[in-house]
């Protein structure tokens, strides 16, 4: 097997594992869909807010030309950074495991999960920041607005306020509602939602029924966990998304002239390199990497609900 200095080739089989491997709790790629770029850094564009809503005179007089509309854009920049991790498959472990392919697939999935978890945190840090997402509300137990207060809270009203806020800013309704796992679990038992589905076939609140109740295309449940303590200490797991919720408009077919909460600019997609030999540590190395930049594009496409449950 070649060593690290001899080879930097993508392994198509293991890269397919890396790209297809999905932790069901991850939502970053749905909120900030990926846009392939040909340069590691470059110019991106944001739109002047009133551009799509100008009332213009469209009448053409005889012997005159048509008036022309134009996009009014402000330039911004992106810069992709290489992110990656690797893990060594010790020769002795390979002997114990027996099947070479399964061990390499398992290792690829393990490393891919950590690379994706890091990307998830980068996006969450953006979309749960009230200094960046300036349209937000904070629910409180004192006011009885938190969704775990089954007597006083009004989740349908809160979500509708968020939808109205986004629509008033961008002229379209949000298409995604992201709920932290703890928020989702409380909403599943909320009397207001149960009452609206009591005649349904299942009688159980699901993410699909919740999407119908709230009037969005998708409800995503952010379930990802992370270890809050330093390495080699007893693990203490917490929800990465916290007790927050986010309404957003996210363009699922990214394009230069399409509004969206954000994009992940992707210079190199997530991929696995051909395993290379680490003679010093007596094993073969699996490396997963990607070259990306997660960027907030239009904050008006988002409405953040913090402390949604106690």
* Residue 29 belongs to domain with CATH number: 3.90.1690.10
pTM reported for the whole predicted model: 0.86
Mean pLDDT lowest among 1-15, 57-71, 176-190, 244-258: 1-15
pLDDT band at 9 (very low <50, low <70, confident <90, very high): low
Helices (H), the chain: 12-20, 28-31, 91-97, 100-127, 155-170, 181-188, 191-196, 207-214
Other beta carbons within 10 Å of 268: 17
- Any domain includes 87: yes
In a domain, residue 60? The reply is no
Q: Please tell me the predicted confidence (pLDDT) of residue 68.
A: 82
Flag the least confident range among 34-48, 58-72, 76-90, 278-292.
Answer: 58-72
**Residue 149 tokens, joined:** 């207060």
When pLDDT is cut at 50, 70 and 90, the band that residue 5 belongs to is low
Q: What does the pLDDT look like over 141-181, one tens digit per residue?
A: 999 999 999 999 999 999 999 999 999 999 999 999 999 99
For the four alpha carbons of 79, 286, 121 and 250, in that order, the dihedral sign comes to positive
Domain membership of residue 117 (yes or no) is yes
The whole-number pLDDT of residue 17 equals 61
Report whether 267 contacts 136 (CB < 8 A): no
State the distance between the two ends of the chain, measured CA to CA, in whole angstroms: 54
Which phi and psi (to 5°) does residue 298 adopt?
-145, 95
| Joined tokens for residue 110 | 């393990």
Residue 190, domain member (yes or no): yes
Total domains present in the chain: 1
Residue 5 belongs to a domain: no
pLDDT at site 265: 96
Structure confidence by residue, pLDDT tens digits, 193-221: 999 988 776 778 999 999 999 999 999 99
Structure tokens at 252: 């699922």
Residue 212 DSSP code: H
Check residue 77 and give left, alpha or beta (phi > 0: left; psi -120 to 50: alpha).
beta
Contacts of 107 (CB under 8 A, 6+ apart): 87, 89, 286
Question: What is the span of the domain harbouring residue 198?
Answer: 12-50+74-306
Rg, the chain, Cα only: 24
In a domain, 142, yes or no: yes
- Give the pLDDT band (50/70/90) at residue 4: low
67 falls within a domain: no
Please tell me which residue, 258 or 135, carries the higher pLDDT value.
135
Enter the DSSP assignment of 301: G
Question: Please, which pLDDT band fits residue 99 given cuts at 50, 70 and 90?
Answer: low
* Domain assignment of residue 225, yes or no: yes
Q: How far is CA 162 from CA 114, 131, 168, 176, 244, in A?
A: 32, 17, 10, 12, 13
Cα–Cα distance measured from residue 117 to residue 24, given in angstroms and rounded to the nearest whole number: 11
Is the model's pLDDT at 18 over the cut of 90? no
């Amino acid at each position: 097997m070649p060593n690290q200095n001899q080879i930097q080739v993508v392994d198509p089989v293991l890269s397919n594992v890396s790209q297809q491997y999905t932790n069901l709790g991850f939502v970053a790629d749905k909120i900030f869909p990926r846009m392939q770029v040909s340069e590691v850094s470059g110019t991106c564009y944001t739109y002047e807010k009133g551009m799509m809503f100008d009332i213009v005179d469209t009448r053409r007089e005889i012997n005159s030309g048509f008036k022309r509309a134009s996009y009014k854009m402000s330039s911004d920049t992106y810069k992709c950074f290489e992110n990656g991790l690797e893990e060594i498959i010790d020769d002795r472990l390979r002997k114990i495991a027996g099947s070479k392919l399964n061990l390499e697939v398992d290792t690829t999935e393990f490393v891919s999960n950590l690379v994706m978890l890091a990307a998830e945190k980068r996006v969450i840090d953006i979309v749960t920041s009230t200094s960046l997402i300036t349209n937000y509300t904070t629910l409180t137990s004192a006011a009885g607005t938190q969704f775990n207060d089954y007597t006083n809270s009004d989740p349908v009203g809160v979500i509708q306020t968020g939808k109205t806020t986004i629509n008033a800013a961008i002229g379209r309704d949000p298409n995604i509602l992201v709920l932290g796992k703890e928020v989702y679990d409380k909403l599943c038992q909320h009397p207001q939602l149960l009452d609206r589905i009591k005649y349904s076939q299942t009688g159980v609140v699901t993410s699909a029924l919740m999407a119908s109740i709230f009037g969005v295309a998708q409800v995503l449940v952010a379930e990802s966990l992370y270890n809050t303590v330093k390495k080699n200490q007893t693990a203490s797991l917490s929800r990465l998304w916290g007790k927050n919720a986010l309404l957003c408009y996210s363009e699922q077919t990214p394009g230069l002239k399409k509004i969206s909460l954000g994009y992940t600019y992707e210079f190199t997609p997530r991929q696995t390199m051909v395993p290379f030999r680490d003679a010093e540590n007596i094993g073969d190395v699996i490396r997963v990497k990607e070259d990306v930049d997660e960027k907030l594009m239009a904050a008006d496409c988002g409405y953040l609900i913090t402390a949604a449950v106690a």
